[in-house]
Chain A
Amino acid sequence: MAPGTARVRLRTPPPWTAALPALAVIGLFSAYPVAVLVGNSLGLGSAPADGGPTLEHYADALASASVRESLAASALVAGVAVLATLVIAVPVVLHQARQDRAGAGGASTDALLTLPIALPGIIIGFFAIVLNGRTGLLAPLWEGFAGLAYTLPGLLVAYVYFSLPRVLGPLRAAAAGLPHSLTESARTLGASKARVLATVTLPLLLPALIETGGTAAAIALGGYGTVATLSEGIRLLPLDVANALTTGYRLAASSTLAVLLAAMAVAALVLGRGLGRLVGRAVAS
């Protein structure tokens, strides 16, 4: 071997080393805290509270009616809100794709629709109170609006508003990637606009819908701010996590709920990704 080539080889480190900094960050800020949380929830946390490995905390949590209610409410709110968000988002992104093609892409509508992504959930909670609180802006119009913010429908509306900008971006890219010639060809073949939507546009958007929906549900599950401001009636899981920690520093109980919450969010994300890819392969092979 020529000495020159040996030197060159020394200078190029194996490719996985490039991932090291990222791995270090993930290890420090994700893997380690998760390990600590899981440890706490299994009774392996620091003494004096915990005295050895046990599943007791999980059993307690799942036996508690209030935790079960929060779990169900969290799953319901995240799931229904994201579904509603997708239903609203599809016509918006299809309209945007049409405008883009016509060269009339409205940068301002775009900004207006995705701006709420910058707003923390707690602000969105305040919006809901300002509009639909007991003395909210809409309260004089119909008494049903008064205090709506604190009910399940009110919470759903707030979460839709929270999820919409997070869904619009990725869906818009997916809609823009659909060749216009597909829908045009379908129309010339005799299909009505509704039929084209049902047989061409939606099936081809489905993988992106599922994946984006999963991601949005994961984010909605973990969102604390919105529900914190609207927490009068319905309790969601993030509230219980914080509550267990702030009232009496029940570290093990809090960790257990946190692990449950994280597991739900990750499951939503992974399910969305996996299912989206699977459907994608089935739809466009």
Chain B
Amino acid sequence: MTDLREPETGAPGLTVSDLTIRYGDTEAVRGVSVQVRPDETVAVVGPSGCGKSSTLRAVAGLTPVAGGAIGLGGRDITHLDPARRGVGLVPQDYAVFPHMSVAGNIAYGLRARRLPADRRRRRVAEMLELTRLTELAGRRPGQLSGGQRQRVALARALAVEPDVLLLDEPLAALDPQLRGGLRRELSAMLSSSGCATLIVTHDQREALSLGTRIALMREGTLVQFGTPRELWEDPADAFVADFLAGAVLLEAERSPDGAAVLDGRWRIPAEDLGTGPTGHGRTRLLLRDDSLTVTDRDDGAAVTARVVHAEFVGDAVRLTVDAHGHVFGVRVPPDARIGRSVSLAVVPGRATLLVPAP
């Protein structure tokens, strides 16, 4: 195998190659490689403890790297002092300086870089404009809302014209009711800044809507790296399908008249199935929340499942059922009479058989 380090860290944008991070004896991150091109936003997503925040902190220079390399804008920054990396960090709590005004916060990095006063003022005004904070320039952070503080942190980070913008759980500290609007606002500001961006989040919706590409991590390793559509339509494994879409991915065997899953105990007729290509080598059946229905049919096209839990969700009752050790979700009308077990069938056209390209 050739040494890929040199050309990779020399690329524009951010290049994380084969990154390993250790805390004492535990490996928090193992061999993770992610690239962020200068004009894109990569969302690193995964459950808590998957190593996504450690990865971000390593890029910022706040956590020592045990192995691998980090390149930024053509420079190797693996062991560089955080002050000289040229990253713009927006921490989870925003870390807005409470003893400085909004304008003072935005000017902080420019002062540290000893930018002349007139250029500094111009840059601060630009950033205030970009983040729509001009009217609040003289306020102290204590007088701002959470969303406004986030914009201050963003403006402060962007003011120094970083080679990469790092956002750690940008929306987690905000009220759930506000997140949708602020997510769209953030997305718009990120695209108008034109800066390579790495976002860390545990929220799959944030990842899907903010990321031009998604890096999904689990237990310190990278599970899948691709566009939201790739991950959504062709998940690498059952974990990706479940985490990102709440979907179930089953190993399947294709036959001329359909597909067999659950070791042949459930045969789904071909006319009910959609098909899609997969780059992951094996034939699998992707079942989403709306792929299944409860049926009266009792032939091979249905499978019997035990009802584990029923939850009223307003316009429907959501059943959690267990069929041969696999757990599925299925929605039934709120007035449906449900016994201890049900027969499941796929809704025609709603289940996708992922077939390897020939």
- Residue numbers of A with Cβ under 8 A of B are 179, 181-182, 184-192, 195, 199-200, 203-204, 282-285
Contacts and interface: CB of A to CB of B under 8 A. Distances in A.
A183 to B, nearest CB: 9
A184 B99 contact: no
B112 interface: yes
8 contacts: A179-B93, A188-B87, A188-B89, A189-B160, A190-B109, A191-B109, A192-B112, A284-B99
Contacts of B62: 184, 187-188
Contact of B142 (A188, A204, A284): A284
A216 B96 CA distance: 32
Given A190-B84, A283-B99, A185 B89 contact: yes
Given A179-B95, A185-B91, A204-B98, 6 more contacts: A181-B91, A184-B89, A184-B91, A188-B83, A189-B108, A190-B112
Interface of A is mostly: helix
Nearest to A279: B99
Contacts of B143: 285
A87 B55 CA distance: 37
Contact of A189 (B61, B109, B140, B142): B109
B320 to A, nearest CB: 39
Interface in B27-42: none
Contacts of A187: 61-62, 82-83
A160 B333 CA distance: 77
B41 to A, nearest CB: 19
Contacts of B113: 190
B355 interface: no
Contacts of A283: 98-99
B202 interface: no
Nearest to A189: B109
B108 A188 contact: no
Interface residues of B, number: 28
B157 interface: yes
Given A283-B98, A284-B98, A285-B98, A188 B60 contact: yes
A209 to B, nearest CB: 14
List the 6 shortest-distance A-B pairs measured between CB atoms, nearest first: A189-B109, A181-B95, A191-B112, A190-B112, A284-B98, A181-B91
Contact of A188 (B85, B92, B98, B140): B85
B267 interface: no
Q: For B92, B97, B99, which residue has the most chain A Cβ atoms within 10 angstroms?
A: B99
Contacts of A282: 99
Contacts of B93: 179, 181
Contacts of A195: 112
Given A188-B83, A189-B156, A190-B84, A182 B109 contact: no
Interface in B289-318: none
B73 to A, nearest CB: 15
Interface in B136-179: 140, 142-143, 153, 156-157, 160
A200 B99 CA distance: 8
Contact of B83 (A179, A191, A285): A191
A169 B92 CA distance: 29
B88 interface: yes
B97 A182 contact: yes
A191 B99 contact: no
Contact of A190 (B91, B97, B160): B160
Interface in B249-280: none
A206 to B, nearest CB: 9
Q: For A179, A185, A187, A203, which residue has the most chain B Cβ atoms within 10 angstroms?
A: A185
Contact of A192 (B83, B97, B98): B83
Contacts of B84: 190
A190 B98 contact: no
A283 B100 CA distance: 8
A204 B108 contact: no
Given A200-B97, A203-B99, A188 B112 contact: no
Nearest to A182: B95
Nearest to B87: A188
B133 to A, nearest CB: 17
Contacts of B88: 188-189
A188 B99 contact: no
A179 B88 CA distance: 18
Interface in B205-237: none
Contact of B140 (A186, A200, A285): A285
Nearest to B99: A283
Contacts of A184: 60, 62, 82, 89, 91, 95
Given A283-B98, A285-B140, A189 B91 contact: no
Contacts of B109: 189-191
